[in-house]
Amino acid sequence: MKQILLTTSILALGLTGPSLPINAQGPVEYRFLEGYARTPPNSPAGAAGAFRAAQARLSAGGFDSAAEVLLAAAAGFTKSVFGVPSLRFQRAVTERVSTGAQRGDVLIAEWGFEESFGSGLIVLTDTPYYSTYAFRVRDCHIRTQAELTAFLKAALVWGGSPVLPNAEPAPASSDVRMGGVPLGPYFVVTLPAGPPPITFFRGSPRTPRSTYEYVADFEIDGLLEGEEWFLTFGVGKAYTQGIYPVRARIPERFPPLGELVKSWSFGACQAL
């Protein structure tokens, strides 16, 4: 999922000319990409496939009580990024990846919500290296750019959020810069070239905070399937610093590494 979103974002932001016209609406800038294709129905790839895969993992394991503190922090972080004050806990499981580059403690949690922009479920797959939110939203009407803008403004927290700290961008052309920072719309959504209705889209902040993958990413992949919208949000771990009880990229999270070392003997430390 991460690779798909990153590749699309680079392609969309790097192209210029008539094949990628721009249309701005408030804090959102729309770009239209020729040849941008929708994920096939029932595909394991894309936002719908990501939601189903994450939800399936919830039924395949148990929960380590040492992850309770992390789970509570994840719920608080979720409310700080998304407009879901109605968030209610459903279930959670933990996994331990013992080897490889993605080694570490993984938390998978599910919440329900009912908001003005829709109702449904959120499944968070939280690893030491990246957070992936998979949404399934009912009663969500997104067919035009104006409706998608309204959805993003309601579903995301603008102003005070770790991801979108400003409520509104400065009212200026997106081509004008001050101190190297672009003014005007700063959230970019890529749509296929052509008339509505909108049935899929991808988006990310106009100016990423970091050039490094997985650090300060915030990427959206949206897909309408039947009467439901499926959305995947990729969130870099830089945003959880100061909110999570454990630092990013440290595999031992429940219990945290700081607690584990208290039980280590001198011989065990030498073995490391």
In contact, 216 and 210? CB cutoff 8 Å: yes
State phi, psi for 105 to the nearest 5 degrees: -90, 125
The CA-CA-CA angle for residues 48, 204, 138, to 5°, reads 35
The closest alpha carbon to 26, from 181, 153, 154, belongs to 153
Worst-scoring range by mean pLDDT, 25-39, 169-183, 258-272?
Answer: 169-183
Task: Please write the tens of the pLDDT for every residue from 163-179.
Answer: 888 776 544 444 444 44
Element (H, E) at 2: helix 2-14
Top pLDDT among 160 and 227 is at 227
pLDDT at 6: 38
Top pLDDT among 189 and 1 is at 189
Task: Please write the tens of the pLDDT for every residue from 41-64.
Answer: 778 889 999 999 999 999 988 999
In contact, 107 and 92? CB cutoff 8 Å: yes
pLDDT (average), residues 225-241: 94
pLDDT at 164: 86
In contact, 183 and 169? CB cutoff 8 Å: yes
> Alpha-carbon distance 39 to 193, whole Å?
16
State phi, psi for 112 to the nearest 5 degrees: -105, 160
> Alpha-carbon distance 168 to 254, whole Å?
38
> Alpha-carbon distance 233 to 203, whole Å?
9
Sign, CA torsion 180/9/13/149: negative
The closest alpha carbon to 24, from 140, 220, 182, 137, belongs to 182
> Alpha-carbon distance 54 to 63, whole Å?
15
Three-state SS letters, 250-265: CCCECCEHHHHHHHCC
Does pLDDT of 259 surpass 70? Answer: no
Element (H, E) at 57: helix 46-58
State phi, psi for 56 to the nearest 5 degrees: -65, -35
Q: What is the pTM of this model?
A: 0.84
Task: Please write the tens of the pLDDT for every residue from 190-221.
Answer: 999 989 999 999 999 876 666 666 788 899 99
pLDDT at 170: 47
Does pLDDT of 162 surpass 50? Answer: yes
State phi, psi for 209 to the nearest 5 degrees: -75, -20
Top pLDDT among 271 and 155 is at 155
Angstrom distances, CA of residue 130 to CA of 69, 220, 253? 18, 14, 13
> Alpha-carbon distance 150 to 26, whole Å?
10
Top pLDDT among 260 and 52 is at 52
Buried b (16+ CB within 10 A) or exposed e, 151-167: bbbbbbbbeebbbbeee
What three-state secondary structure class fits 47? Answer: helix
What integer best gives the mean pLDDT of the chain? 83
Provide the pairing of β-strand 28-33 with 22-25: antiparallel
